[in-house]
């Protein structure tokens, strides 16, 4: 009896509550957001203010003490130095390279994931997500074993006679890129797949029916429609990549010093919180810039992709 009424009720009540929400806006969404906003504001905001305050005090190596740039000494030390600007460029280059590689490698996987029947899709998902479940240090050391001079990959290359001497696969930028792509690829695949899954199959079929080749269909129909996914994935991959620390440290073998590694050096090794904070804020601004840049590109491409 009781069960019966409950089971019968939901559709009707859901409909009425939906109408009520649209007619009379309530504070509920804001109330629901409040805890997370408060938490973010307190934790993130306080940390940012502290970071900013620290960065304005002179560090271990002050720039021209007593000059007009007294408060900005740490920023001047970074921005007026080709070495630090160079390391910033290296960080961004690796970020872009990894993002591009993830997009190229991730798209086909995302496509087959979206097209797979539910059973196989679940299996594929599990395989794709696995790298994320491993500790980054263990993951990086796994690559150290594989990519080493006497590792299985080089041994295979030597035995097949493709190379005469071991190929340098790590302790350089290549090792860092391989490690980061492995780490970040799942984010790209899942972002793209989530968009591709929602696309109407009829659009693809219509395009093929109306005379486009498979490639034309991909270029003119699928790609423009799935661009938001690519861009969302790129945003995640790029920001995680330029703030990556463990992978470049281990697979770069010290040869690749990305900005996070230099920040670690200043803060943990040298305890120069002031210069370290300034570098962290510079990285933050650059990451935000990158994010906005990606979004601008996405919006333009999206607009171009729309049928006129």
Partner 1 sequence: MSRKGIACISISVSCLLLVALLAGGALLVRPAAAQQSFAGQTLVITDWGGPWGESLRRNVAAPFEKKYGVTVKFDVGKSYENLAKVRAQRHNPQIDILFVDYGASQWAAQEGLTVPLSNYAASIPNLADVYPQAVAPGQAFVATRVSAQGIMYNEQKIKKPVDSWAALWDKDFEGHVGVTGIQWGTGKMVTTAAFLMGGNEKSPDLGFNKLKELRKIKIFESASQVAQLFQQGEVWIAPQLGPAAYALQKSGMPIRFVLPKEGAFGMFDNMSIVKGGKEQLAALFINFALDPAVQVEHAKDLTVGPTNRKAVLPPDLQQKVPAGEQIGRLYLQDDRYANSQLPAWTERWNREVVPMITK
Compose the 90-119 pattern: x for residues touching partner 1 by CB under 8 A, - for all others.
Answer: ------------------------------
Q: Residue from 131, 148, 224, 305 that binds partner 1 (CB under 8 A)?
A: 148
Selected binder of partner 1 within 137, 271, 284, 299 (CB under 8 A): 271
Crossing angle for the helix pair 273-305 and 223-242, to the nearest 10 degrees: 180
Contact call for residue 85 and partner 1 (CB under 8 A)? no
Contacting partner 1 within 167-206 (CB under 8 A): 171-172
If one asks whether residue 286 binds partner 1 (CB under 8 A), the answer comes out as: no
| Residue 44 interacting with partner 1 (CB under 8 A) | no
Please say which residue, 46 or 213, places its beta carbon nearer to partner 1.
46
Geometric angle at alpha carbon 251, from 259 and 124, rounded to 5°? 105
Site for partner 1 contains 135 (CB under 8 A): no
Distance CA 186, CA 237 (A): 9
Determine, following the binding rule CB under 8 A, whether residue 238 of this chain makes contact with partner 1: no
- Please identify, using beta-carbon distances, which residue of 44 and 271 lies nearer to partner 1: 271
Residue 257 as a binder of partner 1 (CB under 8 A): the answer is yes
Between 28 and 268, CB nearer to partner 1? 268
Residue 253 is given by DSSP the state: T
The answer to whether 224 and 163 have CB atoms below 8 angstroms apart is no
**254 lies in the binding site for partner 1 (CB under 8 A):** yes
Site size toward partner 1 (CB under 8 A) is 21
Which listed residue (40, 61, 123, 206) binds partner 1 by CB under 8 A? Answer: 61
The answer to whether residue 60 forms part of the interface with partner 1 (CB under 8 A) is yes
Query: Least distance from C-beta 153 to partner 1, angstroms?
Result: 13
Q: Please say which residue, 262 or 283, places its beta carbon nearer to partner 1.
A: 262
Closest approach of Cβ 284 to partner 1, in Å?
Answer: 21
Listed residue (107, 83, 185, 178) closest to 140, CA to CA: 178
64: left (phi over 0), alpha (psi -120 to 50) or beta: left
Q: Which residues bind partner 1 (CB under 8 A)?
A: 60-61, 83, 144, 148-151, 171-172, 253-255, 257, 262, 265, 268-272
């Amino acid at each position: 009896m009781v069960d019966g009424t409950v089971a019968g009720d939901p559709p009707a009540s859901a409909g009425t509550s939906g109408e009520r929400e649209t007619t009379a806006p309530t504070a509920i969404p804001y109330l629901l957001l409040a805890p997370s906003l408060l938490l973010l504001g307190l934790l993130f905001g306080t940390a940012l203010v502290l970071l900013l305050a620290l960065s304005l005090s002179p560090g271990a190596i002050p720039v021209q003490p007593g000059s007009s740039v007294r408060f900005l000494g740490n920023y001047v030390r970074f921005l007026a130095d080709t070495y630090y600007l160079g390391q910033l460029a290296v960080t961004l280059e690796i970020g872009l390279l990894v993002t591009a590689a993830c997009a190229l490698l991730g798209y086909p996987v995302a496509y087959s994931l979206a097209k797979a029947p539910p059973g196989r899709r679940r299996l594929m998902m599990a395989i794709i997500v696995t790298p994320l479940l491993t500790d980054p240090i263990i993951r990086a050391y796994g690559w150290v074993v594989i990519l080493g001079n006497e590792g299985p990959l080089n041994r295979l290359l030597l035995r097949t006679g493709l190379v005469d001497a071991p190929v340098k696969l790590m302790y350089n930028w290549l090792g860092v890129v391989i490690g980061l792509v492995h780490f970040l690829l799942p984010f790209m695949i899942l972002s793209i797949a989530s968009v591709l899954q929602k696309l109407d199959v009829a659009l693809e079929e219509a395009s093929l029916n109306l005379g486009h080749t498979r490639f034309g269909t991909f270029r003119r129909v699928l790609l423009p429609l799935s661009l938001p996914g690519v861009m969302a994935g790129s945003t995640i991959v790029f920001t995680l990549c330029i703030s990556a620390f463990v992978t470049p440290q281990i697979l770069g073998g010290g040869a690749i010093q990305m900005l996070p590694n230099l920040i670690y050096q200043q803060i943990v090794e040298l305890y120069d919180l002031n210069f370290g904070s300034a570098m962290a804020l510079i990285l933050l601004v650059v990451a935000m810039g990158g994010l906005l840049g990606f979004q601008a590109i996405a919006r333009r491409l999206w607009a171009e992709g729309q049928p006129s």
